[in-house]
C-alpha cells in the first residue's frame, strides 16, 4: 500500500512537471506557428508577423534594370549572403515624381524597381493556399506596389497568399526602337516581361510561403487589368496562372497604325517610329548613348500618359488578341471581369454640345458612326457630355472587357463572370474609375472619407467573391447572391450597387455599336499589314 502511494506521488509529480514544461513552451512560442523566414531565389528573406499575417516586402525578383540593362528583358537575380530583411517596400518605378509623392507611400522612385511583396496567413509551408498576384494600374505611366490601398493584409486574412509585383512603366518599360528590336527580336514590352518574370518567381518560390503554385490568380485594375488581359496571349506566360481577374481593363482591339480612336496598342513599326523621335528629343544619336543618360532626364521628356504603351512586337505581345481568343490560341483560364458605371468621369472634361459630339463621332468612327450616335443620347449639352464620358467607358474599357467575356463564353474551355460596379455617391453620375479598389482590398483611406455601413457590406461581398474565385475558379459560395456565368444569350452580369444581384448588361446597345466599330477596324488592320 505504501508502495502504491509512493507511485501515485511520483506520477503526480511527473504530471506537474510536464504541465510546467507545456506552459513554458506555450509562453515561449506564438499561439500559432507562422512563416517568418523563407529561402527564395537569390537567398534567404525575413519578414514581419503582425496580427496573424506574415508580410515580406521588397523581395527582388530580377536584377536592377539599370545601366546596360536599361531596355532589356529582366535578368536573373544576383544572390545575396546572409538573411535579407524584407520589411520595406522596394522603390516605385520611374514616373512623374509629383504624382509619385502623393501615391506611392513615400518610397521614392528609381529604375531599380523590380521587387515584389508577399502577405501570407499560412502557419506552415505545406498549406497550399490559393495565390493572388496583383498588377497595379496607372496608364502604363505610373503606379507602385506601395500605394497604401494595395496593402495585402485584409485579403490575406480571407485565406489567400497575396503577392504584388513591380514593373517598369513609361519610356523605361515601353520604349521601342529599331536598335532595341535588333538586340532581342522585339522591343517595347519590357514592363510586360517584368510581369512575366514576377509570375515565374511566384511559380518557383510561393510554396515557401504556404502558397499553391498550381492555383495562381492574376488580378489588376486599369493598366493592371489590361496587363492581365495581355498576359492571356503572351506565350512566355503560359502555365504561370490558372485564373484571371480584370477590373476596368481589357485589350481586344487590333493594334493601331496611326491614331485610330479607342485603340491603344501600337504596331512595332509605329512604336519604333515614336521611339526614334523620342531619342531625338533626348538629344542622343543611338540607344548606347541613351543608356548613359540620367533616368530623370529620360523621365522629364516622357510626355503625357499614353505616350508609351505595350507594343504589338510579335514576340512578347501578338498583334491581335481578339483573333487568338477567337481561334482558341491563348492562355485559357476562368475569368472574372468588369467595369464601373462612370469610368469616363476621370478622363473626360470640359463642355460638350450635340454638334461637337456628333462631329467627333463622325470623324473618328467611320461606318460605325450611325450605330454609335443612335446608342448615345446627345440631344442636349448635358446628354452630350454624359455620352462623351460613356463613349470613353465603352471604347477604352468596357468593350474590350465585354469582347473578352463573350469570346471566353463562346470559344473558351472555361467560364467568364462579368460585373458592373455602380456603388457611388448620391451626387454623381455613377462609380468613377478605380472606385472599387477600396472595397476589393478592404482598405478605406481617410482621403476618401470614412466608409459607410453599405461600403463595408459591399466590400465583404466583393472580396468574398474574389477570394472564392481564386480558390476554385467560381466566385459563388453559400450565403452569397448567385453570380451566374456570362452567357451571350442572357448577358447576365453581377451588379454591385445598393442591392447586389444578377441582371442583364445595362449598356448592351452601346457595346454592340462598338462591335460594329471594332469589326471594321480589324478588317482595316488586316489590309494595312
Q: Residues 278-286: what's their mean pLDDT? A: 98
pLDDT score of 448: 73
∠ CA 165-168-169, rounded to 5°: 120
107 φ, ψ to 5°?
Answer: -80, -15
Which residue in 241, 442, 454, 220 sits closest to 338, CA to CA? 220
| CA neighbor of 238 nearest in space, from 206, 211, 199 | 199
Query: Whole-angstrom Cα distance, residue 141 to residue 16?
Result: 66
Q: Find the mean pLDDT for residues 458-485.
A: 98
Q: Give the count of beta carbons closer than 10 Å to the beta carbon of residue 513.
A: 25
- Residue 152 phi/psi, 5-degree rounding, is -95, 5
DSSP-assigned letters across all residues of 106-124 = T--B-S---EEEEEE--SS
Q: What residues are paired with 342 via a beta bridge? A: 432
Residue 33: pLDDT band by 50, 70, 90 thresholds?
A: low
pLDDT at 18 over 90: no
| Banded model confidence at residue 449, pLDDT cuts 50, 70, 90 | confident
Asked if residue 447 has pLDDT above 90, the reply is no
Confidence grade of residue 427 (pLDDT, cut at 50, 70, 90): confident
Marked catalytic residue, from 343, 394, 408, 436: 343
- Cα 493 from Cα 505, distance rounded (Å): 6
Tens of pLDDT, residues 128-148:
999 999 999 999 999 999 999
CA nearest to 92, candidates 167, 170, 182:
167
d(CA 58, CA 202) in angstroms, rounded, equals 14
Q: pLDDT exceeding 70 applies to what percent of the chain? A: 93
Q: Tell me the mean pLDDT in the region 237-246.
A: 98
| pLDDT at position 529 | 56
Q: What is the pLDDT of residue 17?
A: 41
Predicted structure pTM score: 0.93
**Vertex 502: Cα angle to 496 and 508 (nearest 5):** 90
Residue among 199, 237, 244 at smallest CA distance from 219: 244
Rounded to whole angstroms, the Cα distance separating 373 from 367 reads 11
Q: Is 222 a catalytic site residue?
A: yes
Q: Is 343 annotated as catalytic?
A: yes
- Give 35-76 pLDDT, tens digit per residue: 999 999 999 999 999 999 999 999 999 999 999 999 999 999
Residues contacting residue 297 through CB under 8 Å, at least 6 positions apart:
282
d(CA 430, CA 120): 35
424 annotated active-site: no
User: What confidence tier does 445 reach under pLDDT thresholds 50, 70, 90?
Assistant: confident
Distance CA 102, CA 91 (A): 14
Gap between the Cα atoms of 164 and 132, Å rounded:
8
The average confidence (pLDDT) of the chain is: 93
Report which of 472, 470, 419, 464 is spatially closest to residue 440, judged by C-alpha positions: 464
Give me the helices (H) in 87-168, please.
97-103, 153-157
Catalytic residue among 103, 222, 246, 302: 222
Element (H, E) at 410: helix 399-411
One of 187, 247, 433, 436 is an active-site residue; which one? 433
Percent of the chain with pLDDT over 90: 90
Which residue would you say has higher pLDDT here, 102 or 155?
155
* Residue 269: predicted pLDDT: 97
In the chain, what are the domain boundaries? 37-329+337-527
pLDDT beyond 50 at 418: yes
Structure-model confidence comparison of residues 450 and 499, the more confident one? 499
Q: In angstroms, how far is CA 67 from the centroid of its own chain?
A: 28
Q: In 10 A of CB 479, how many CB atoms?
A: 7
DSSP secondary structure, 237-269, as one string: GTTS-SEEEEES----SPPBSS--TT--PBBHH
User: 149-187 pLDDT, tens per residue?
Assistant: 999 999 999 999 999 999 999 999 999 999 999 999 999
Domain 37-329+337-527 is classified in which CATH homologous superfamily? Answer: Alpha/Beta hydrolase fold, catalytic domain (3.40.50.1820)
C-alpha cell recorded at residue 350: 470640359
Instruction: Using alpha carbons, select from 196, 223, 193, 199 the residue that is nearest to residue 211.
Output: 199
Is pLDDT of 24 > 90?
Answer: no
What is the structure's pLDDT at 528? 62
Residue 470 is predicted with a pLDDT of 98
CA dihedral 225, 238, 167, 125 (to 10 degrees): 100
User: Can you spell out the DSSP letters for 30-90?
Assistant: -SS----EEEETTEEEE-EEETTEEEEEEEE-S----GGGTTSPPPPPPP-SSEEE-BS--
With contact defined as beta carbons under 8 Å apart, do 265 and 176 qualify? Answer: no
pLDDT tens digit sequence for 288-343: 999 999 999 999 999 999 999 999 999 999 989 999 999 999 999 999 999 999 99
Give CA 161 to chain center in angstroms: 16
pLDDT number for residue 399: 98
Identify the pLDDT of residue 25: 32
Residue 455 pLDDT greater than 60, yes or no: yes
pLDDT at 128: 98
Enter the C-alpha cell of residue 464: 468574398
Helix (H) or strand (E) holding 220: strand 211-221
The answer to whether 516 touches 375, Cβ cutoff 8 Å, is: no
Where b means 16+ CB within 10 Å and e means fewer, 231-264 reads bbbbebbeebbbbbbbbbbbbbbbbbbeebbbbb
- What are 401's three cell numbers? 472587357
Place of cell 531599380: 112
**How would residue 479 be classed by pLDDT, with cut points 50, 70 and 90?**
very high
Q: In this model, does residue 217 exceed pLDDT 50?
A: yes
Q: What pLDDT score does 32 carry?
A: 52
**Please, which pLDDT band fits residue 425 given cuts at 50, 70 and 90?**
confident
Amino acid at each position: 500500500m505504501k508502495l502504491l502511494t509512493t507511485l501515485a506521488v511520483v506520477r503526480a509529480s511527473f504530471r506537474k512537471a510536464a504541465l510546467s514544461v507545456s506552459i513554458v513552451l506555450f509562453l515561449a512560442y506564438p499561439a500559432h506557428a507562422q512563416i517568418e523566414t523563407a529561402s527564395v531565389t537569390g537567398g534567404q528573406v525575413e519578414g514581419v508577423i503582425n496580427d496573424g499575417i506574415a508580410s515580406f516586402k521588397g523581395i527582388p525578383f530580377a536584377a536592377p534594370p539599370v545601366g546596360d540593362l536599361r531596355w532589356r528583358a529582366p535578368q536573373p537575380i544576383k544572390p545575396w549572403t546572409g538573411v535579407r530583411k524584407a520589411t520595406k517596400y522596394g522603390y516605385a518605378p520611374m514616373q512623374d515624381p509629383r504624382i509619385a509623392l502623393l501615391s506611392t507611400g513615400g518610397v521614392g522612385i528609381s529604375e531599380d524597381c523590380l521587387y515584389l511583396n508577399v502577405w501570407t496567413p499560412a502557419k506552415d509551408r505545406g498549406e497550399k493556399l490559393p495565390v493572388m498576384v496583383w498588377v497595379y494600374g496607372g496608364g502604363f505611366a505610373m503606379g507602385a506596389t506601395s500605394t497604401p490601398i494595395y496593402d495585402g493584409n485584409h485579403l490575406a486574412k480571407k485565406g489567400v497568399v497575396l503577392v504584388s509585383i513591380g514593373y517598369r512603366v513609361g519610356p523605361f518599360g515601353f520604349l521601342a526602337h529599331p536598335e532595341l528590336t535588333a538586340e532581342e527580336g522585339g522591343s517595347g514590352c519590357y514592363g510586360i516581361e517584368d510581369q512575366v518574370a514576377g509570375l515565374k518567381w511566384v511559380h518557383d518560390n510561393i510554396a515557401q510561403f504556404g502558397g499553391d503554385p498550381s492555383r495562381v490568380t492574376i488580378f489588376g485594375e486599369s493598366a493592371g487589368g489590361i496587363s492581365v488581359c495581355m498576359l492571356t496571349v503572351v506565350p512566355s506566360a503560359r502555365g504561370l496562372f490558372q485564373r484571371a481577374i480584370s477590373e476596368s481593363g481589357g485589350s481586344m482591339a487590333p493594334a493601331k497604325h496611326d491614331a485610330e480612336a479607342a485603340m491603344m496598342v501600337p504596331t512595332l513599326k509605329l512604336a519604333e517610329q515614336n521611339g526614334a523621335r523620342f531619342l531625338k528629343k533626348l538629344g542622343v544619336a543611338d540607344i548606347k548613348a541613351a543608356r548613359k543618360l540620367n533616368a530623370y532626364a529620360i523621365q522629364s521628356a516622357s510626355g503625357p500618359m499614353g505616350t508609351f504603351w505595350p507594343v504589338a512586337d510579335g514576340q512578347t505581345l501578338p498583334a491581335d488578341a481578339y483573333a487568338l481568343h477567337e481561334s482558341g490560341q491563348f492562355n485559357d483560364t476562368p475569368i472574372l471581369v468588369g467595369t464601373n458605371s462612370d469610368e469616363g468621369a476621370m478622363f473626360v472634361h470640359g463642355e460638350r454640345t450635340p454638334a461637337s459630339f456628333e462631329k467627333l463621332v463622325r470623324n473618328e468612327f467611320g461606318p460605325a458612326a450611325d450605330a454609335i450616335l443612335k446608342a448615345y443620347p446627345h440631344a442636349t449639352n448635358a446628354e452630350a457630355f454624359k455620352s462623351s464620358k460613356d463613349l470613353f467607358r465603352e471604347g477604352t474599357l468596357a468593350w474590350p472587357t465585354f469582347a473578352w467575356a463573350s469570346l471566353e463564353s463562346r470559344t473558351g474551355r472555361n467560364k467568364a463572370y462579368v460585373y458592373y460596379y455602380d456603388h457611388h455617391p448620391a451626387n454623381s453620375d455613377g462609380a468613377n474609375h478605380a472606385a472599387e479598389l477600396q472595397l476589393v482590398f478592404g482598405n478605406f483611406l481617410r482621403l476618401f472619407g470614412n466608409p459607410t455601413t453599405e461600403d463595408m457590406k459591399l466590400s465583404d461581398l466583393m472580396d468574398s467573391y474574389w477570394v472564392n474565385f481564386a480558390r476554385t475558379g467560381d466566385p459563388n459560395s453559400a450565403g452569397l447572391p448567385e453570380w451566374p456565368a456570362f452567357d451571350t444569350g442572357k448577358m447576365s452580369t453581377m451588379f454591385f450597387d445598393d442591392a447586389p444581384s444578377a441582371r442583364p448588361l445595362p449598356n448592351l446597345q452601346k457595346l454592340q455599336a462598338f462591335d460594329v466599330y471594332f469589326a471594321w477596324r480589324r478588317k482595316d488592320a488586316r489590309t494595312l499589314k
